[in-house]
Structure 1
Amino acid sequence: MRCQPAGILEKYAVRIERLSRGNVFLSADPASGTLLSPVGAAQSARLLLKRVSPAARSRISLLLENLFARPPAAPALIDLALALEASAAGERPSAAIRRSRVRFQGTDGIRGKIGRGRSELRLFFRKGVVVPRLFAAAAAAFIELALKNRTPSLKVAVAEDGRDYFSGRSFAKAVMAAIRSRGCTPVDLGILPTPLVPVYCALNGVRAGIVLTASHNPADQNGVKFFLDGRKILPDGKVSDYAITALAFDMLAKRQRFRPAAGTSVMRGPEACGLAAAAARAALAGKTAHIRRRGLAFIVDTAHGAYSRCAACAMETLGLPFEIINSDMSGADINRGSGVAVIEGSETFHPRDAAAPEIVRRLRSAPPGTLGIALDGDGDRGFVLVPSPGGAVSVLDGDRLSFLAAKYLVRRHGASGVFAGTVESDLALFSAVAADLALPVRLACVGDKYLSSTPAASSQLIGEETSGHVVIPLTLLGTRKKILAGNGLLSALLGAEALAWLAGEKPLHSAVQPYAPGVMKTFYVYFVDKSRLRRSSPAWNAIVGAVHDALQDAVAASELPASAHASERLFRDDRDMLYIELKDGGRIIGAVFTRASGTEDKIAVYARGVRDFEKPVLRVAHAAASAAGMLRDPRKPEAKAQEVLSSSWGGAVVSVPSAHAALAAAGFRMSPPAVDALLFAMLKQGIIKGVR
């Protein structure tokens, strides 16, 4: 007997085909790598039956009729099963369709573990694995969309952070072939920090840029970021994440090849040093006087990444004393034990910290007046490290750096504008900016694209993320083009200048806390099934329930007044972030929010709040994090490997050779970068104390 979904899909086959000609595609299961088509109705019906409830199946006709009447304005790939479940849960059909669009991209481009295989879509959706053809299809889709939307015949800047460069450049070659397949010219910039790609584009009249990078992620992963007119693309729009995914998915499902068009070739771009120098001159002209007055020197940790080849050029251009560390490059060591990745989340390294990273150890023995700058693999994030006489080293993260920079620019240079931060930022930071600097503030979703690419960004003085993205508008000498891209090295140097100015005649370490901080703690769950964290899902409801129960416990323990309550806040740009505000009457005293990382295989639960309410805010966050533990996927090899190491080294410092030996003895075959990534995840979760 023919199942009902098959009959309905066959009935609508012609109209579904018409949608696909308009670049609106339907899939019963994107992980299958297939699209709904006239010849595949039976297969699609079987996939739907596996994924949707009986109540959801009954809504197929209603949902499809709504889609035919009001199709998306831009290309889109719609997960029909998710749309049906959302509709069955009570969402309007149009809203269910919108939130069930599929995109490869996370917070910052496409990322995944480097792998091999021909089933690109299955590998990506089921295992989080990326292969060169996936990036090639995404690049081809990006170029097609740019050409259709009044971008003239293109040169396309292509850069990378080094992880692909030393292993045959399979990803770079695939992307450049895809660009040529669309009749365009790739400009090969080689290894170049991400923020210097918009600089090259502005100086050379190139509108499109592609960067192969997984940023701060371990070396066993790679990714790709897209720029148009100097800004990262957003999820929605004619040239957007959803549109790129739709076209690329269609290309891959149809096994399209990306052969270079006749007459096209690869251009060689300029050396990185010139671009680094140009950016440094534009960003810091007249803004290093206090660094010079105090005679400051810098130790710059380039994390074996893209700035390794050109940080020296920027520092020499500015005439600042420096030493570069972790600058040797092999592609396999990017971010390993170095840079922002190992420092993030630490406010202070104490003298007896056994697992302190190299830059901290160097600073302890460096001459007085030496500061540290830690970057990430692609150079768009940066921290400043400030040593104290007793051996402690303070970390200035994005929150502190941005406040220092804003205060310096407002008070010293008469600047004005909006101060934008993300939900990850310290709530006390926004209060301090408004009270001390009288600047308007804006709260954005996680991702520097929301600080640089939205219409609101045009009025910004600074946009910042706690993680070290600090976006300060940059106008290059000789051009009128404003660049909005986080540059870890330059924002760190501006922060150091602001610190020296604010400290005056006092020691630098006296000014490392420029505002009274609030509650900031983050709990991580790695190796998860992110698809289970969706609005109204069982996991979502469990976390909400845990928050409300913990809030009532806090009231019962007299940690909060009886008037305290919790309310969900919806962010349009991140609808599957569970953001719960904790309030006393109309006053916000804290926020506990849960979101799936768009760049790593993890779920994070964040606690942010007023210092006076630290205990109840952390109580609620602990409860949410405990509930979020259900999202860990025990089927994943990494989760199983984590269990093996936890049983032997939980709460201890782990040596890398011992971890390799234990995993090999347990039958795990993991590469050195994969073991590094596993140990890093365990460290972030607090399962182990350190790695040596």
Structure 2
Amino acid sequence: MKRQYFGTDGVRAPYGSATMNEDFAWRLGAAAARFAKGKMRTSSKDVFIGRDTRASGPSLESALAAGIASEGFQPISLGIVPTPVVSLLTRSSAAAFGVVITASHNPASDNGIKFFGSNGIKLTDSDESQIEHLLPVSPSVLSDEDRLAQKTDALATYLELTGALLPPDSLQNWKIVLDTANGAACVSSRTVLENLGAELTLIANQPDGQNINADVGSQHPEKMSAAVKTVGARLGIAHDGDADRCILCDENGDVLDGDEILTLLALRALKQKQLEKNTLVITVQSNLGVDAAVQAAGGRVSRTDVGDRYVIERMLAEGATLGGESSGHVICSDISPTGDGLVAALKVIEVMLETGKPLSELRRGLRKFPQLTAALKVKDKKPLESLPTLPAVIKKIESELGNLGRVLVRYSGTEPKLRLLVEGPTDERVQSAMDQLTAATKADLEVV
């Protein structure tokens, strides 16, 4: 069933728009609760709600909670917490379901709502379609703050779990740069790393409701990289607004994306014979070099559509425990049922501790194919197959590249953008292909 409101990661839109306001949040909360009634895997009526640091979060939370309460559930606010905290607590407490109010890496002017089932795993496309069909026409009550209970110790379990991933005091004499994007991880990641003994240089750890992701975080690692070189840190860690992503940089300030993190972890696990099913799950967006590196080490790669929840679905289907996206979503499902930026960083540090090697050396396991990406903002998302120029150009480039490269053209599931990706044998051929794709896109669509 085609979804009208949900994208690749929940509902996301500018705050104040038709699909991200208090009325719609109430309706969505009521619809999710109605859906949960028909899918109850637990007798609990508790629903955990977390949010990031956006100014629009509290009012959306109040309205969402009122909609949930209208169907007989008990909404419980976890306050400002990373997305993986909601996932973990929902699963460990066997709550009815969990909700996070966040627009992830988007600017503060946007917000979003995404759901987790009682197992702590994001809902499927089919689940979201059913929720959309259960939306009431209008809210019967806009707000009902008295029905929203508070859970003040939401971070405690998460801090204990993540802090135990490394030996006590194992980061003594480690300098680390930490960029929390003025988002949900400002307290959690700092606390865990400092408790392990790290000396931190903090970036973007003063949220004011408007500065989340503002030229910082996983989308903008430049400040992190510069700080690593300035203070002589062993690595830098950057999250996005809700901290389910992780981008790193090595001691030289060179950035590692999700593909490099996943390859590093997969190669280490294969060497230790600890990679479940010898399988790493990634998306079609990941570099072809990941496949080559993992296969050379005796493993296999399984690819899915873009979206960390599709990665998780494939991991469950194949019995894999490691997967993720080039954007920095890294899922270690033996620890957390969803992407977790802090867990990803700690797992990489664990490899550094075990091997005694710097990150600049460990990253060499992945030799990337030449690749270019672009994200063109478009006025309308017209069906690609209906466009007069772009499909033919794609087919031409694919024919020229053969098995030496690939082309990926898709609309973003969360933004009004057309995403282009080209991989090939040389930088020159990749650039030529990207120029052709860009020109064809501008001929067919209104790029703004």
TM-score, length basis structure 1: 0.60
Q: CA deviation at 1:288?
A: 9.2
In the other structure, the counterpart of 1:511 is: 362
In the other structure, the counterpart of 1:545 is: 392
CA distance in 2 between partners of 1:524 and 1:205 (Å): 39
Q: Equivalent residues in 2 for 1:494-533 (5 A)?
A: 494-499=347-352, 501-502=354-355, 504=357, 507-530=358-381, 532-533=382-383
In the other structure, the counterpart of 2:423 is: 608
In the other structure, the counterpart of 2:65 is: 176
Q: 1:159 aligns with which of 46, 50, 72?
A: 50
Size of the aligned set, in residue pairs, is: 445
Do the aligned partners of 1:135 and 1:174 also contact (CA within 8 Å) in 2? yes
1:377 aligned to 2:211? no
Deviations 1:208-266, CA, capped at 9 Å, x for gaps = 10000000000100001100020001112xxx121112222xx23xx34246899x832
Q: CA deviation at 1:335?
A: 0.3
Q: 2:113 aligns with which of 224, 242, 246?
A: 224
Deviations 1:472-528, CA, capped at 9 Å, x for gaps = 1134xxxxxxx3211112202212332454563xx5423333222112210221143
Do the aligned partners of 1:340 and 1:376 also contact (CA within 8 Å) in 2? yes
TM-score, length basis structure 2: 0.91
Q: Equivalent residues in 2 for 1:132-211 (5 A)?
A: 132-151=22-41, 152-164=43-55, 169-211=58-100
CA distance in 2 between partners of 1:455 and 1:548 (Å): 31
Q: 2:158 aligns with which of 268, 276, 296?
A: 276
Q: Equivalent residues in 2 for 1:519-668 (5 A)?
A: 519-530=370-381, 532-534=382-384, 536-537=385-386, 539=387, 541-550=388-397, 565=399, 582-583=401-402, 588-609=403-424, 612-630=425-443, 632-633=445-446, 639=448
Q: Secondary structure at the match of 1:493?
A: helix
Do the aligned partners of 1:183 and 1:260 also contact (CA within 8 Å) in 2? no
Q: 2:343 aligns with which of 482, 490, 497?
A: 490
CA distance in 2 between partners of 1:303 and 1:139 (Å): 28
Do the aligned partners of 2:237 and 2:345 also contact (CA within 8 Å) in 1? yes
CA distance in 2 between partners of 1:279 and 1:133 (Å): 37
CA distance in 1 between partners of 2:131 and 2:428 (Å): 45
Q: Equivalent residues in 2 for 1:351-430 (5 A)?
A: 357-367=222-232, 369-388=233-252, 393-412=253-272, 414-417=274-277, 418-430=279-291
Do the aligned partners of 2:78 and 2:150 also contact (CA within 8 Å) in 1? yes
In the other structure, the counterpart of 1:466 is: 326
Do the aligned partners of 1:404 and 1:499 also contact (CA within 8 Å) in 2? no
Greater CA drift, 369-378 or 211-220: 369-378
In the other structure, the counterpart of 1:102 is: 3
Q: Secondary structure at the match of 1:308?
A: coil
CA distance in 2 between partners of 1:458 and 1:331 (Å): 41
Amino acid aligned to 2:262: S
1:244 aligned to 2:95? no
Q: Secondary structure at the match of 2:202?
A: strand
Do the aligned partners of 1:502 and 1:511 also contact (CA within 8 Å) in 2? no
Do the aligned partners of 1:522 and 1:605 also contact (CA within 8 Å) in 2? yes
Q: CA deviation at 1:331?
A: 1.2
In the superposition, relative to structure 1, how do residues 184 and 394 fare at CA in structure 2: closer, same or farther (>3 Å)?
Answer: same
Q: Secondary structure at the match of 1:307?
A: coil
In the superposition, relative to structure 1, how do residues 160 and 496 fare at CA in structure 2: closer, same or farther (>3 Å)?
Answer: same
Q: CA deviation at 1:174?
A: 0.5
CA distance in 2 between partners of 1:394 and 1:359 (Å): 10
Deviations 1:390-448, CA, capped at 9 Å, x for gaps = xxx21111000111112223324734332100011001101211112x12221111000
Q: Percent identity?
A: 27
CA distance in 1 between partners of 2:45 and 2:168 (Å): 36
CA distance in 1 between partners of 2:324 and 2:59 (Å): 34
Q: Secondary structure at the match of 1:306?
A: coil
In the superposition, relative to structure 1, how do residues 145 and 619 fare at CA in structure 2: closer, same or farther (>3 Å)?
Answer: same
Q: Which has the higher contact order (CA 8 A, sep 6+)?
A: 2
Q: CA deviation at 1:631?
A: 5.6
In the superposition, relative to structure 1, how do residues 456 and 614 fare at CA in structure 2: closer, same or farther (>3 Å)?
Answer: farther
Amino acid aligned to 1:332: Q
Q: Equivalent residues in 2 for 1:258-407 (5 A)?
A: 258=141, 265-281=147-163, 284-285=165-166, 295-343=173-221, 357-367=222-232, 369-388=233-252, 393-407=253-267
Q: 2:15 aligns with which of 109, 114, 118?
A: 114
Q: Return 5+ residue gaps in structure 2 as ranges.
A: none
Q: Return 5+ residue gaps in structure 1 as ranges.
A: 1-97, 117-122, 125-129, 344-356, 476-482, 552-564, 567-581, 640-692
Do the aligned partners of 1:528 and 1:631 also contact (CA within 8 Å) in 2? no
Deviations 1:571-616, CA, capped at 9 Å, x for gaps = xxxxxxxxxxx42xxxx2211111111122211111124xx35433
Q: Secondary structure at the match of 1:133?
A: helix
1:434 aligned to 2:295? yes
In the superposition, relative to structure 1, how do residues 456 and 590 fare at CA in structure 2: closer, same or farther (>3 Å)?
Answer: farther
CA distance in 1 between partners of 2:441 and 2:112 (Å): 27
CA distance in 2 between partners of 1:153 and 1:274 (Å): 21
Do the aligned partners of 2:176 and 2:235 also contact (CA within 8 Å) in 1? yes
Of Structure 1 and Structure 2, which has the larger fraction of its residues in helix?
Answer: 1
Q: CA deviation at 1:177?
A: 0.3
Runs of 4+ with deviation above 6 angstroms: 259-262
Q: Secondary structure at the match of 2:389?
A: helix
Q: Secondary structure at the match of 1:512?
A: helix
CA distance in 1 between partners of 2:292 and 2:203 (Å): 37
CA distance in 1 between partners of 2:39 and 2:99 (Å): 18
Do the aligned partners of 2:264 and 2:362 also contact (CA within 8 Å) in 1? no
Query: In terms of Rg, which structure is larger?
Result: 1
Q: Secondary structure at the match of 2:276?
A: coil
